[in-house]
Amino acid sequence: MHPVEVIEMVSFYAFFDQTPRGRNRIRLSKTPISMMNGAREVAEAFGQSLGIAMGETSLDGMFTLEWTNDIGMADQEPAALVNGMILTSLTPLDVPGIIAALRHEEDGLGLSSYPPTAAQALKLPKSNVRPSLIQAGPLLTRPVVRARGLKAALAMTPEKVIEEITSSKLRGRGGAGFPTGMKWRLTRKSAGKEHYILCNADEGEPGTFKDRMLLAEFPDLVFDGLTIAGYALGSQHGILYLRGEYAYLWETLQETLRTRRSLGLLGANICGRQGFDFDIRIQLGAGAYICGEESSLIESLEGKRGSPRDRPPFPTERGYLQQPTAIDNVETLICAARILEKGVAWFTSYGTKESAGTKLISVSGDCARPGVYEVPFGVTVSELLDLVGGADAIYVQVSGPSGHSVAPKDFGRSIAYEDLSTGGSTMVFGPQRDVLDVAMQFAEFFVEESCGWCTPCRVGTTLLKQGMEKVLAGRATLSDLSEMEALGQTVVRMSRCGLGQSAPNPILTTMRNFPELYEARLAAVPFTPLVTLHDALREAVAVQGREPLSEET
């Protein structure tokens, strides 16, 4: 391997470094939700105690302090990743205790033991992830008995399993909504040395955490689903791609896998079914939102930069290691397991015509009870708001930054593939919030997460962010707005993958649904310069120590 290839890969992921950083890595989650809950104050407290600014490493090389994008804890922000362990509901008062514990336990808590162990985490204050499931529906009603769905599936032929999934009308829960039965059928019928089934647990969309909840609270159901899919596809290898932010789940997930092996639910001749050999391994991500996109995920699994692939060929024909591969979201696999267990009729009795079943919704922000809710498809935004105690919302972001900015006039719309399609992220904003400031933070998110492969997304996301900065500064003109809109639409049309195609959404959909907020911020002149004269002269004033000749700005 060439050095240039190593750097190509390493420099892509936020969690890899090319130069040594602090032994302890403190990464604070930076999202509109964490900011609303006081993340900035927590950051300041860390900065003051350590004597460093965000992004810096302390002189003794002990600590690096930085921001990171959403870590999947939106219901318990402000949260942080410390050496891979998760700290939640932080306040500035927690900071001295955390730093003292890290100094004290330096060796035990250092990066040397990654993924972190639960025993390690116990030594850190606030290392406690609260259970997130608030309302279970038919899918998650307990008790959950391990392997019921799997055994039902193994009593059928693989073709019959696929038929069941197809007639259940199950569609992917990761956001795109592709019919799962068709995906499995296409993968099964593609020729290849091996077939692979991948579980997408990258869950990078800000505001969603339902997959994390499922992996923490229902791991056996996830593995049942994955094993059923393996059987249906004729695959021997399942891989769970777990986002690096969820490394704290590593230990218990491995434990679950070990138990399943000992029970004959993984390995050779599973449940006595001759010839069905299947095992699951877990691979960690390293901080890149784009790796949730299925072809990037495959590249990442192969140890490369997570840039998406061109399609065709689709993964169902040539995916992981160029072999036929199906990629399913965590929740999709759980649905599959339950459909096999409880039957197609049970599943289709919930939801709407085009959206069968229920959906897990991750709710965060200005509401009384943030957490995961299982609701039938078809539920309206206002019904959801009532459920979570967020009735005074002025704005709801459905399906994360890449989704829809919904204004009160549209709260009657429903959550379903045929209306507001969603991967589950639902961020609620109350009257005290600035919608455009939130849109700006989302625009920044896409700048940071663009993989850089293609021009419109790589450059366009930055230009859009700069346009939004001008709006927030009250300096944008009407023609700036129409240019920004045109630029956004170009980025949507010209970008290579779903990230770029949806990156302008926060701006385009707030423009459409909250036009009055943009109008209120317009500069009432036909033209304003890119920067004010005052700003353009600031450096000269500092260097030369005198004021400009003229007073104009």
Partner 1 sequence: MSLLDIDERILELVDLVDLDVSPFDDKKAFDRQVDVGFVEGGCSNEYNVKELREFRKHCRILISVGACAINGGVPAMRNTIGLRECLEAVYLNGPSLEGAGMIPNDEDLPLLLDRVYPSHEIVKIDYFLPGCPPSGDAMWEGLKALLTGKAPTLPYLLCKYE
Partner 2 sequence: MVAASFKFNIDGIEVEATEGQSVIEACDEAGIYIPRLCHHPELPPSGNCRVCTCKINGRHSAACVTPAAHGMVIENDTPQLTSDRRAVIEMLFVEGNHPCPYCVASGDCELQALGYRLGMVAPTQPYQWPERKIDATHPDIYLDHDRCILCSRCIRASRMEDGKTVFGFEGRGIAMRLNVDAQGGLGETQMAAIDKAASVCPVACIVIKRHNYQVPNGSRRFDKTPIGSDIEAKRTRRQS
107 is a site residue for partner 1 (CB under 8 A): no
Min CB(312)–partner 2 separation in Å: 6
Min CB(303)–ligand SF4 separation in Å: 18
What does the block give as tokens for 251?
């230990």
548 is a site residue for partner 1 (CB under 8 A): yes
Residue of the chain from 85, 384, 499, 511 that contacts ligand FMN (CB under 6 A):
499
Stretch that binds ligand SF4, among 19-27, 160-168, 490-498, 520-528 (CB under 6 A): 490-498
Amino acid, res. 353: K
What does the block give as tokens for 480?
């700036």
Residue 106 to residues 16, 46, 67, 114, 534: CA-CA distances in angstroms? 21, 17, 22, 14, 48
Residue of the chain from 19, 55, 274, 527 that contacts partner 1 (CB under 8 A):
527
- Between CA 277 and CA 424 the distance in angstroms is 33
172 is a site residue for ligand FMN (CB under 6 A): yes
- Between CA 488 and CA 483 the distance in angstroms is 8
Min CB(483)–partner 1 separation in Å: 12
- Between CA 444 and CA 395 the distance in angstroms is 19
| Residue among 376 and 401 whose Cβ is closer to ligand FMN | 401
| Residue among 181 and 460 whose Cβ is closer to partner 2 | 460
Min CB(305)–partner 2 separation in Å: 7
* Stretch 182-201: interaction string toward ligand FMN, x if CB under 6 A: ------------------x-
Count residues contacting partner 1 (CB under 8 A)? 22
458 binds, among ligand FMN, partner 1, ligand SF4, none (CB under 5 to 8 A by kind): ligand SF4
Q: What is the distance in angstroms between the CA of the first residue and the CA of the last residue of the chain?
A: 55
Min CB(457)–partner 2 separation in Å: 8
Question: Measuring CA to CA, which residue among 324, 235, 346, 314 is closest to residue 281?
Answer: 235
Stretch that binds ligand SF4, among 116-124, 407-415, 447-455, 509-517 (CB under 6 A): 447-455
CA geometry: angle 284, 288, 291, nearest 5 deg: 70
Amino acid, res. 184: W
- Between CA 301 and CA 283 the distance in angstroms is 7
Neighbours of 495 (CB within 10 A): 23
Residue nearest to ligand FMN (CB): 172
Helix intervals (H) in 398-532: 435-449, 455-472, 478-494, 498-502, 505-513, 515-521
Question: Measuring CA to CA, which residue among 170, 146, 173, 295 is closest to residue 232?
Answer: 170
What does the block give as tokens for 58?
């302390």
Neighbours of 167 (CB within 10 A): 15
Q: Are 426 and 398 in contact, with CB atoms under 8 Å apart?
A: yes
Min CB(425)–ligand FMN separation in Å: 10
- Between CA 300 and CA 285 the distance in angstroms is 8
511 is a site residue for ligand SF4 (CB under 6 A): no
Min CB(532)–partner 2 separation in Å: 14
For 139-161, letters b (16+ CB in 10 Å) and e give bbeeebebbbbbbbbbeeebeeb
Min CB(503)–partner 2 separation in Å: 11
Residue of the chain from 70, 77, 328, 419 that contacts ligand FMN (CB under 6 A):
328
Q: Which residues would be at the binding site for partner 2 (CB under 8 A)?
A: 2-5, 7-8, 11-12, 288, 305, 310, 312, 447-456, 458-463, 466, 486-487, 490, 493-496, 530
Min CB(449)–ligand SF4 separation in Å: 7
Helix intervals (H) in 20-157: 32-36, 39-50, 95-104, 106-109, 118-122, 148-154
Collapse the DSSP code of 449 into the 3-class scheme (helix H, G, I; strand E, B; otherwise coil) and give the result.
Answer: helix
290 is a site residue for ligand FMN (CB under 6 A): yes
- Between CA 285 and CA 305 the distance in angstroms is 11
Min CB(469)–ligand SF4 separation in Å: 20
Stretch that binds ligand FMN, among 143-151, 269-277, 321-329, 506-514 (CB under 6 A): 321-329
Residue of the chain from 288, 340, 438, 499 that contacts ligand SF4 (CB under 6 A):
499
230 is a site residue for ligand SF4 (CB under 6 A): no
Stretch that binds ligand SF4, among 108-116, 160-168, 444-452, 467-475 (CB under 6 A): 444-452
Q: What are phi and psi of 267, to 5 degrees?
A: 110, -150
203 is a site residue for ligand FMN (CB under 6 A): yes
| Residue among 188 and 496 whose Cβ is closer to ligand SF4 | 496
* Stretch 347-376: interaction string toward ligand SF4, x if CB under 6 A: ------------------------------
- Between CA 373 and CA 375 the distance in angstroms is 6
294 binds, among ligand SF4, partner 2, ligand FMN, none (CB under 5 to 8 A by kind): ligand FMN
384 is a site residue for ligand SF4 (CB under 6 A): no
420 is a site residue for ligand SF4 (CB under 6 A): no
- Residue 435: CA atoms inside 13 Å, Cβ hemisphere, count? 27
- Residue in the block written with tokens 């498809």: 377
| Residue among 263 and 536 whose Cβ is closer to partner 1 | 536
CA 495, 499, 502, 508 torsion: positive or negative? negative
24 binds, among ligand FMN, ligand SF4, partner 1, none (CB under 5 to 8 A by kind): none
Residue of the chain from 240, 454, 492, 511 that contacts ligand SF4 (CB under 6 A):
454
Give the strand pairing for 358-365 and 237-242: unpaired
- Residue in the block written with tokens 């970008």: 495
Collapse the DSSP code of 349 into the 3-class scheme (helix H, G, I; strand E, B; otherwise coil) and give the result.
Answer: coil
530 is a site residue for partner 1 (CB under 8 A): yes
Site residues for ligand FMN per CB under 6 A: 172-176, 178, 200, 202-205, 290, 292-294, 327-329, 332, 497-499
